Structure 1
Amino acid sequence: MKVLAIESSGLTASVAVVEETRTVAEYTVDYKKTHSQTLLPMIDEVVRMTDLDLAEIDAIAVSGGPGSFTGLRIGSATAKGLGLALDKPLIHVPTVDGLAYQVYGCGDIICPIMDARRNQVYTGIYTFSARAGKKEGIREVDPVFQVLRMQMAIAVEDLIRRLNNYNRPVVFLGDGVPVYREMLSAGLKVPYSFAPSYMNRQRAAVVGALGIRYYKAGKYETAMEHQPEYLRQSQAERERAQREKTAKLVIRELKAEDAAAAAEIEYQSFPDPWSQNGILDTVSNPSTVCLLAEKAGKAVGYLFAYRAGDEAEIARIAVAGEQKRQGVGKSLMRTLEEIGKKKQIRRLLLDVRESNREARAFYEKMAFQEDGIRRGFYQDPPEDAVLMSREL
């Protein structure tokens, strides 16, 4: 089996071609250049130096995180692009798994640490146990890679406490070592050591070797399915979430250009979601009231209602999962009431799945009353509808 391996989760950029019994080629650079500058030229050089036809590889192994958000995106995008072009499967190798696998055969606790800033590290806890067998009369030891604690983001103080509880020697490696070496030395009560320079950073050859093992265990995916694993939000995402949390809620008319955002919430909210085209048809209908709820420019909810004479039937109301119980649904309803009064709508109608207790409780708080049951109204899945209404 032949695997192209890509590692770009940290400052180190690394590319390798790996077979089951040897590393054909490896190109590693730990220098102040961006992966967007180095990764593709490194792949080209490895391919050129080994006369490799990329169509001959069986899979692409990629370090899938955690790590640098930008680095992971570049590595994953490169692997996905090659996988799609070559029609090859991808092997997602967790970054800290790959780091730990470098200390092959070590029976001590292996603890790779990557600096996640704010006194936190990305880490996992590993070891190798010896499984003995016999081969041609000679006793052969086959080390078994054991994941004692899966990769995680954790405060350094908490990691030290966990390692002390194992009461076993620990080997550290990774770019978090120089950052937190003094904290580790001050807090550890067990023997510890630090891996030497040739094995203390990420290497694509190791990603490829471990990737072959994972592939044989059935742990692979299509290029389309692959996504990096960040473990936590990037700083930009955290800042955006904070802005959204404190931003003012705006209710406005939902327009055609908002259909894609509404469709995304629709698919998250209903077992029988409307398509984007269906939403566009609703928006273009002159008898509808279409409302969008926004926070910091992001769609967080919507409402569709059909007018007929002095009545309006609410066909759809939904709120994005992270914005539920934040008053979004209530604000959409209040805005519909205001519009209804201006348009001389006397009565609001709706139907709701009988099993949807949360929605029924919400409508009751908004002064809706149950009028009856419509048997077998819903089809996907089959269910009765509770009919509700309220006077304006």
Structure 2
Amino acid sequence: MSVILQIETATTVCSVALAKDGNVLAVKEMNERNVHAEKITLFIQDVLQQAKHTLADIAAVAVSKGPGSYTGLRIGVSAAKGLCFALDKPLIAINTLDAMAAGALVFNDQFSADAILCPMIDARRMEVYTALYDSDALPVKPTSAKIIDENSFADVRDHQLVIFGDGALKCKDVLINHNVLWLSDFENSATQLTAIALQKYQNGAFEDIAYFEPYYLKEFITTAR
């Protein structure tokens, strides 16, 4: 039996889920800016209570490692590491864009068989964190920070481009020369970590809890007031 606690805080969504053997038992989430620190512990308690489990039942903790919001990632990873230290349980880290691509598969009746999945996480101005995946959510191009213009993704213009995530909206008026499907109903969720978390658990792909850090991709930049 593998009961995995899953934490997603890479964007404005604060989400916690509990899954057993690849099936989601409970989820609690809120899409609201700057609530992660306030809500994360309560959400963990809520999903355990909903699923009638305790912390002692957890086999591992999975966390969305980034890229994404610097503050959100710090909070999520800190919570995950704290639980792993206290419970002596392994830590599973999952690339946020990988989890998003896996989550987008629930919309696969809307996109073509040769579609290219393009999750986007909002960065600064016209920049996004993104990667490309095939229609089975297998990686095509690695994670990068990309400034979006009309020439972006020109090398996959022959494919339907499925774009989703909180960085997608600001690209709508730019990528007008592409065959694009916009998944406007998509939101990040800890449930999207489920399949990858189970696979990593079964393969023993765990992190060194003491030294693990979020995947920021870029340096944190403070803005002068």
Q: Report if aligned partners of 2:23, 2:194 keep a CA contact under 8 Å in 1.
A: no
Q: Which amino acid letter does the alignment assign opposite residue 94 of structure 2? A: V
Q: Which has the higher strand share?
A: 1
Please tell me whether residue 151 in structure 1 is matched to residue 139 in structure 2: no
The equivalent residue for 1:165 is 155
Q: Per-residue deviation at 1:178?
A: 1.8
Deviates most, 47-56 or 211-220: 211-220
Query: Sequence identity, in percent?
Result: 31
Q: Which amino acid letter does the alignment assign opposite residue 183 of structure 2? A: A
Matches within 5 A, 1:180-259: 180-185=171-176, 188-189=177-178, 191-197=179-185, 200-236=186-222
Residue 84 to residue 103, structure 1, CA distance change in 2 (3 Å): same
Counterpart Cα distance in 1 of 2:54 and 2:171: 43
Q: Which amino acid letter does the alignment assign opposite residue 211 of structure 1? A: A
1:167-196 Cα distance to aligned partner (Å, 9 max, x none):
2101111001222221123xx33x111114
Q: Which amino acid letter does the alignment assign opposite residue 55 of structure 1? A: A
Counterpart Cα distance in 2 of 1:60 and 1:235: 29
Match of 2:169 among 163, 174, 178: 178
Q: Which amino acid letter does the alignment assign opposite residue 16 of structure 2? A: V
Q: Which amino acid letter does the alignment assign opposite residue 20 of structure 1? A: D
The equivalent residue for 1:136 is none
Counterpart Cα distance in 2 of 1:201 and 1:151: 19
1:119-166 Cα distance to aligned partner (Å, 9 max, x none):
21000101135xxxxxxxxxxxxxxx4111111111112xx6352312
| SS across alignment from 1:28 | strand
1:197-221 Cα distance to aligned partner (Å, 9 max, x none):
1xx1211011133211233344321
Q: Report if aligned partners of 2:66, 2:95 keep a CA contact under 8 Å in 1.
A: yes
Q: Which amino acid letter does the alignment assign opposite residue 113 of structure 1? A: M
The equivalent residue for 1:366 is none
Counterpart Cα distance in 1 of 2:35 and 2:208: 27
1:45-92 Cα distance to aligned partner (Å, 9 max, x none):
112222212122111110001111000000000000001001111111
Q: Which amino acid letter does the alignment assign opposite residue 109 of structure 1? A: I
1:251-286 Cα distance to aligned partner (Å, 9 max, x none):
xxxxxxxxxxxxxxxxxxxxxxxxxxxxxxxxxxxx
Q: How many residues align?
A: 216
Q: Report if aligned partners of 2:17, 2:25 keep a CA contact under 8 Å in 1.
A: yes
Deviates most, 87-96 or 105-114: 105-114
The equivalent residue for 1:90 is 91
The equivalent residue for 1:120 is 127
1:287-307 Cα distance to aligned partner (Å, 9 max, x none):
xxxxxxxxxxxxxxxxxxxxx
| SS across alignment from 1:23 | strand
Q: Per-residue deviation at 1:33?
A: 4.2
Please tell me whether residue 19 in structure 1 is matched to residue 20 in structure 2: yes
The equivalent residue for 1:70 is 71
The equivalent residue for 1:8 is 9
Q: Report if aligned partners of 2:22, 2:194 keep a CA contact under 8 Å in 1.
A: no
| SS across alignment from 2:175 | helix
Q: Which has the higher helix share?
A: 1
Q: Report if aligned partners of 2:126, 2:170 keep a CA contact under 8 Å in 1.
A: no
Structure 1 gap ranges (5+): 130-144, 240-392
Normalising by structure 2, we get a TM-score of 0.89
Q: Report if aligned partners of 1:4, 1:16 keep a CA contact under 8 Å in 2.
A: yes
Matches within 5 A, 1:1-392: 1-104=2-105, 106=108, 107=113, 108-129=115-136, 145-157=137-149, 161-166=151-156, 167-185=158-176, 188-189=177-178, 191-197=179-185, 200-236=186-222
Q: Per-residue deviation at 1:21?
A: 4.1
Q: Report if aligned partners of 1:19, 1:209 keep a CA contact under 8 Å in 2.
A: no
| SS across alignment from 1:16 | strand
Counterpart Cα distance in 1 of 2:43 and 2:11: 16
| SS across alignment from 2:133 | strand
Counterpart Cα distance in 2 of 1:5 and 1:224: 19
Counterpart Cα distance in 2 of 1:86 and 1:207: 21
Normalising by structure 1, we get a TM-score of 0.52
| SS across alignment from 2:25 | strand
Q: CA RMSD in A?
A: 1.9
